Structure 1
Amino acid sequence: MKKGLIMAIPAIALLVVNCKKNDGGNKNVLKADDSTTILADNGKVDSTINYNTDINGKKSLKTDYVYKATDGTLVKVVFNYKENTVSIRSNNKTFILNKVESKGNETTYEKMDMKATVKKDSLILDQGNNIIELAKTKI
């Protein structure tokens, strides 16, 4: 009896040590990324979209920019990614265009005869016979 008890105690101790609770969870489950990444129509990451990163490394969408025309005029541009629109404000007039296509490196917005094409740091407005080239400012 004593011999069986002496042999059982190390076996129980070994089980208790090996069966401790692991707080790490299932290592095969990937944690969800808190950052928001917008994809283009082709399923690749849309490079025309910029993000703000705070000091803690948390990423958020940057939606408003100031663009400068070749004649020096400043234009405020606000992207609404939830509604797939862009609003362009200049000379107290605001134009809201709907997203038509996104290729990943180029996004096109249109409404009636106005078309806006966004590529990297440039925005090209095409309205009938007028083509206005805008460049993103550092403001």
Structure 2
Amino acid sequence: MKKGLFAVFAVIALSFTSCKKSESGNKSVLKSDRSGVVMADNGKADSTVQYETDVNGKKYIKTDYVYKATDGSLAKVVFNYEEKTMSVRSNNKTFILNKVESKGNETIYEKMDMKATVKGDSLILDQGNNVIELVKTKI
């Protein structure tokens, strides 16, 4: 009887100690210190960044869009907020531009002689004496 009681108490004691929760959490998960809002260079929220909401109600940043030029041609534009770049793909050519300035409602990207200005749903590409106006589409 004593051995059986001792075995039951031992099992109960082991179950309590082995199931103890750690307050520090999973050490393999890195915590993000980002608030989820992309800031412009002036310290205000960048209004050129579009936020989407998933089925669970969580906000996330939408980073790729399709823009349509005035001549009807399409261009895929991908914004990389981590690297502060924008890539424009059209006619099987990709141009990667670096973020130069952000005012909160307007962001400017440049590389060599190419300049892109993003303001709301519009994107203006300026390369030398060629100016291409694009508008965000809903495809």
Q: TM-score category by the smaller chain?
A: 0.7 to 0.9
Deviates more, 1:73-82 or 1:55-64: 55-64
Structure 2: 5+ residue stretches without partners: 1-31
Largest Rg, 1 or 2 = 1
The 2-side partners of 1:73 and 1:59 are apart by 31
Secondary structure of 2:95's aligned partner: strand
Q: Which residue of 2 aligns with 1:73?
A: 73
Aligned residues between the structures: 108
The 2-side partners of 1:121 and 1:135 are apart by 6
Q: How does 1:12-27 map to 2 (within 5 A)?
A: none
- Note the C-alpha offset of 1:35: 5.6
Q: Which residue of 2 aligns with 1:112?
A: 112
Q: CA RMSD in A?
A: 1.6
The 1-side partners of 2:80 and 2:87 are apart by 8
Give the partner amino acid of 1:93. K
| Identity of matched residues, % | 79
The 2-side partners of 1:138 and 1:123 are apart by 15
Give the partner amino acid of 1:86. M
* TM-score (structure 1 length as normaliser): 0.75
Q: Which residue of 1 aligns with 2:136?
A: 136
Structure 1: 5+ residue stretches without partners: 1-31
The 1-side partners of 2:33 and 2:54 are apart by 16
* TM-score (structure 2 length as normaliser): 0.75
Deviates more, 1:53-62 or 1:117-126: 53-62
Closer, same or farther: CA 126–53 of 1 in aligned 2, 3 Å: same
Contact 1:35 1:60 in 2 (8 A): no
For residues 50-101 of structure 1, give each alpha carbon's deviation from its aligned partner in whole angstroms, at most 9, with x where no partner exists.
Answer: 0110121101110000000000000000000000000000000000000000
Contact 1:35 1:59 in 2 (8 A): no
